[in-house]
């Protein structure tokens, strides 16, 4: 009886599947790699996992789908979200899109290893798309196998949920399941392929539509299908804008620009580096999507990128993310131009990106520094000097901002020693030998100016600390932490995956006994594969 209850709850998910119902699909049903023309998606079945095994699930993501822990811990759940079985109402498909990769048009890309199981409408009327990553090939897989390995799947699962709890707009992750397959991967494309455990992540989002979904039809000059997709997107994901029209298309584009700006501000706030900001990895909802070779800015180096493929140009480096998002939005604007045929309103919408980002960045900096509000007349110079000084020596970004809150602004800055001023931030430095007298003097001078600035605000010290701690996380998913969890999981021990999942549910809290996860990256992780840089291999 208990098993039947579990099965019936999963089979009673309210699948709406509007995307597949209202947009044209691929008439060819054979799952072979090809150019797909005149269609927004192709129907495709996930492959069955020979021996699916649950690694972890997110109770918060499950609640979005009206699922209980009992549901998630059932064997039926594991079979469904490994791709082995389909629940009632599911209609699996892969979507067609193109994109610019590293600044170059790449033509058709599409869901090469992602299969949408369908869209549900939950009890609160919210629409959620369920998508398996790593469940087999699709017509868009090109030369790949459509599978994913445990290594990359652990990283995607943990980071999706970590970003949510950090307050960063993101797609979600419901579950991480081993398939029982061995998947061949060459991690750094060095000619040394190895067998790795296969895994599937179930991703969840209101929509997985990307800039590239519009770009592919514009590139093919299929204006009719371009308009159908945009009309569908507005009616489904932006219904508050009203019925589609030329004016609404412009309003929609401006909203995408503003949402994207908000997302990038959050990335910069927490030190997240996406690593692969191709246009096919940009969500029209302003959500962080596709967690591949991402990383967290540990040493404050704005030129750093975690992606080995980007090692020469550093196109997707931390400091360049705001500009890349703007460039990508320009490509989306070009894609919908045939429906508007005016440059000026599109340019105005992109100006809204710049304005939204600038205002958001100022508010973000004010929050990180514990200020009432950002005042350009004083704070432009204050923040410019801080960013410069942070780059002079190897400084941990997360620890620096978190510990800056510990600096007591009730002291007299002019009569405080360098040692007293720098004591709260001492844990942020990786190489103490770099702290020369000249550096200490410069940083101390900045700290004196900072204290005077906060004193001018009149904010009580305790309130300032609380504000800063709400903007500056104590815990982020450092690459070495994910790698330690991967190492254990590959040996069949999933305890650290679940421990990190729990830790990252409360990134702004102190969490006694967990302080080791808030420490600097250990020296052994400085150059280790998976801890410093990564490739797109999965």
Q: Residue 199's CB: how many other CB atoms inside 10 A?
A: 31
The percent of residues above 70 in pLDDT, for the chain, comes to 98
Q: Which long-range contacts (CB under 8 A, 24 or more apart) does 234-237 make?
A: 236/18, 236/19, 236/127, 236/207, 237/206, 237/207, 237/209, 237/284, 237/285
Angle among Cα 175, 281, 474 to the nearest 5 degrees reads 60
Residues 178-194 pLDDT 10s: 999 999 988 766 778 89
Give the residue, 534 or 40, on which the prediction is more confident. 40
pLDDT at 422 > cutoff 70 = yes
Mean pLDDT score of the chain: 95
Q: What is the DSSP letter of 192?
A: -
Handedness of CA 429, 430, 432, 433 (dihedral sign): negative
Handedness of CA 185, 188, 194, 195 (dihedral sign): negative
Phi, psi (deg, nearest 5) at residue 425: -100, 5
For residues 524-533, average pLDDT: 83
Phi, psi (deg, nearest 5) at residue 176: -130, 120
Q: Which residues of 385-423 are buried (b: 16+ CB within 10 A; e: fewer)?
A: bbeebbeebbbbbbbbbbbbbebebeeebeebeeeebbe
pLDDT at 338 > cutoff 90 = yes
- Catalytic residues, which ones? 280
pLDDT at 5 > cutoff 70 = no
**Helix axis angle, 376-390 relative to 437-457, nearest 10°?**
150
Angle among Cα 295, 301, 304 to the nearest 5 degrees reads 45
Angle among Cα 77, 134, 215 to the nearest 5 degrees reads 120
Angle among Cα 360, 362, 365 to the nearest 5 degrees reads 110
For residues 370-383, average pLDDT: 98
Pairing of strands 272-273, 172-185: unpaired
Pairing of strands 104-108, 53-57: unpaired
pLDDT at 519 > cutoff 90 = yes
Give the residue, 53 or 532, on which the prediction is more confident. 53
CB–CB of 289/169 below 8 Å?
Answer: no
Residue among 265, 277, 294 at smallest CA distance from 332:
277
Give the global pTM.
0.96
Residue 161 tokens read as 């949920």
pLDDT of residue 527: 82
pLDDT of residue 9: 81
CA distance 137 to 385: 50
pLDDT at 103 > cutoff 50 = yes
User: By three-state DSSP, how is residue 142 classified?
Assistant: coil
Residues 449-477 pLDDT 10s: 999 999 999 999 999 999 999 999 999 99
Residues 152-186 pLDDT 10s: 999 999 999 999 999 999 999 999 999 999 999 88
Residue 353 tokens read as 């990106």
Range with the lowest mean pLDDT among 179-193, 307-321, 326-340, 386-400? Answer: 179-193
At 3, the pLDDT band (50, 70, 90 cuts) reads very low
The residues near 350 (Cβ < 8 Å, ≥ 6 apart) are 257, 326, 329, 330, 333
At 528, the pLDDT band (50, 70, 90 cuts) reads confident
pLDDT at 7 > cutoff 60 = no
The percent of residues above 90 in pLDDT, for the chain, comes to 93
Residue 202 tokens read as 């179930």
Q: Residue 462's CB: how many other CB atoms inside 10 A?
A: 8
User: For the chain, first and last CA: distance in Å?
Assistant: 40
Strand partners, 128: 120
Chain centre to alpha carbon of residue 190? 27
pLDDT of residue 8: 64
Chain centre to alpha carbon of residue 281? 10
CB–CB of 168/288 below 8 Å?
Answer: yes
At 538, the pLDDT band (50, 70, 90 cuts) reads low
């Amino acid at each position: 009886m208990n098993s039947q209850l579990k099965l019936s709850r999963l089979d009673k998910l309210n699948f709406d599947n509007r995307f597949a119902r209202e947009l044209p699909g691929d008439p060819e049903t054979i799952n072979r790699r090809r150019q797909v023309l005149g269609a927004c998606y192709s129907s495709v079945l996930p492959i069955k996992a020979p021996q699916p095994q649950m690694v972890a699930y997110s109770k918060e993501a499950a609640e979005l789908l009206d699922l209980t822990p009992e549901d998630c811990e059932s064997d039926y759940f594991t079979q469904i979200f490994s791709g082995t079985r389909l629940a009632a109402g599911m209609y699996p498909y892969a979507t067609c899109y193109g994109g610019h990769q590293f600044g170059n048009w790449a033509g058709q890309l599409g869901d090469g290893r992602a299969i949408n199981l369908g869209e549900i409408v939950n009890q609160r009327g919210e629409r959620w798309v369920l998508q398996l990553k790593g469940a087999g090939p699709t017509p868009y897989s090109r030369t790949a196998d459509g599978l994913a390995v445990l290594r990359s799947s652990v990283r995607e699962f943990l980071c999706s949920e970590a970003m949510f709890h950090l307050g960063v707009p993101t797609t979600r992750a419901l579950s991480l399941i081993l398939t029982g397959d061995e998947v061949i991967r060459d991690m750094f494309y060095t000619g040394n392929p190895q067998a790795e455990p296969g895994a599937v992540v179930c991703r969840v989002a209101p929509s997985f539509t990307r800039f590239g979904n519009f770009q592919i039809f514009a590139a093919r000059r299929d204006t009719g299908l371009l308009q159908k997709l945009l009309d569908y997107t507005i009616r489904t994901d932006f219904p508050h804008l009203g019925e589609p029209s030329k004016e609404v298309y412009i309003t929609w584009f401006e909203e995408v620009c503003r949402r994207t700006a908000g997302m990038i501000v959050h990335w910069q706030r927490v030190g997240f580096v996406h690593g692969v900001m191709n246009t096919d990895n940009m969500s029209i909802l302003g959500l962080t999507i596709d967690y591949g070779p991402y990383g967290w800015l540990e040493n404050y180096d704005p030129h750093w990128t975690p992606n080995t493929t980007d090692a020469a140009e550093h196109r997707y480096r931390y400091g360049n993310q705001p500009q890349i998002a703007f460039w990508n939005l320009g490509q989306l604007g070009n894609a919908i131009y045939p429906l508007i045929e005016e440059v000026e309103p599109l340019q105005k919408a992109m100006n809204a990106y710049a304005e939204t980002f600038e205002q958001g960045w100022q508010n973000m900096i004010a929050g990180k520094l514990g200020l009432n509000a950002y005042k350009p007349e004083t704070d432009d110079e204050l923040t410019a000097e801080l960013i410069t000084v942070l780059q002079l020596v190897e400084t941990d970004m997360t620890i620096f901002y978190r510990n800056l809150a510990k600096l007591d602004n009730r002291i007299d800055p002019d009569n405080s020693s360098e040692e007293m001023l720098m004591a709260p931030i001492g844990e942020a430095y990786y190489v103490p030998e770099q702290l020369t007298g000249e550096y200490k003097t410069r940083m101390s001078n900045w700290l004196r100016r900072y204290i005077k600035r906060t004193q001018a605000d009149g904010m009580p010290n305790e309130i300032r600390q609380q504000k800063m701690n709400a903007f500056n996380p104590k815990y982020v998913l450092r690459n070495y932490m994910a790698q330690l969890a991967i190492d254990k999981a590959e040996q069949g021990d999933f305890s650290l995956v679940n421990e990190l999942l729990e830790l990252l549910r409360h990134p702004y809290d102190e969490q006694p006994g967990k302080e080791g996860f808030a420490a600097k990256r250990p020296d052994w992780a400085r150059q280790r594969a998976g801890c410093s840089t990564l490739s797109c291999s999965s």
